[in-house]
Amino acid sequence: MGCNAERAAGVLRAGAATVAEHKTELTELDRAIGDADHGENLDRGFAAVLAALDAGVPETPGAVLKVAATTLISKVGGAAGPLYGTAFLRAATKLGDASELDAAAVAAGLRAALDGVVARGKAEVGDATMVDALEPAVEAAERAHADGENVAAVLTAAADAAKEGADSTVPLTARKGRASYLGERSVGHADPGATSTALLLRSFAEASR
């Protein structure tokens, strides 16, 4: 089954619920190496996304993601707003006016999201950022699509890889963002952005089934 605008909105609502559920966890991760605001900021942003969708769901999945993008950019402080906003905006642009998304479109949208995050944050795998979760997720999604999997399976593959990627940030020395100021003291802590990326992708996968 493809993903139309209502299903895309449902996926975002699931993401918002996941952020709300894990808000304290994400904030505590950020307290160890950052500003202690990642969970609060994301929760505020996704609550605003919910309010925007409750006011009316746009006609296409791409337009739904654009609502999320503009809302997160305007409502979320720190690095998370611009990075997540750029990810959703690039994905929305890639999806265009398609009324329904198949597995190929989902994989392409994820690739566009990654490209946006990399362009915005200048990070690469190994820097202990959300890229450590998102890049392997995109690669796994593309492999799943190439194997003929459906939307839910593509997102599940992405979520599984993102979780491994987020876990891989624990032994890394952060090289981007506020955490990089800590140098070796950032070792031993999962990156909050990578963790939230993995959590969101898991919620998207589960909502798409």
> What span, in angstroms and rounded, lies between the C-alpha atoms of 101 and 113?
15
Q: What pLDDT was estimated at residue 35?
A: 81
What is the reported pLDDT for 177? Answer: 65
Range of the domain at 78: 5-207
Q: Give me the pLDDT at residue 179, please.
A: 59
56 or 2, higher pLDDT: 56
* Domains identified in the chain, total number: 1
Residue 9 banded pLDDT, cuts 50, 70, 90: very high
User: CA 204 → CA 89, 123, 172, 201, distances in Å?
Assistant: 17, 24, 27, 5
Q: Find out whether 108 and 3 touch, Cβ atoms under 8 Å.
A: no
CATH of the domain at 108: 1.25.40.340
pLDDT of residue 184: 67
The mean per-residue pLDDT over the stretch 55-66 comes to 97
Q: How many helical (H) and strand (E) elements, i.e. helices and strands, does the chain have?
A: 9, 0
| Residues 162-182 pLDDT 10s | 999 999 999 776 765 655 555
pLDDT one-digit tens code per residue, 68-95:
999 999 998 788 899 999 999 999 999 9
Residue at token pair 């307290």: 31
pTM of the complete model: 0.95
| Rounded-to-integer distance, Cα 159 and Cα 147, Å | 17
Compute and round to an integer the Cα radius of gyration of the chain: 16
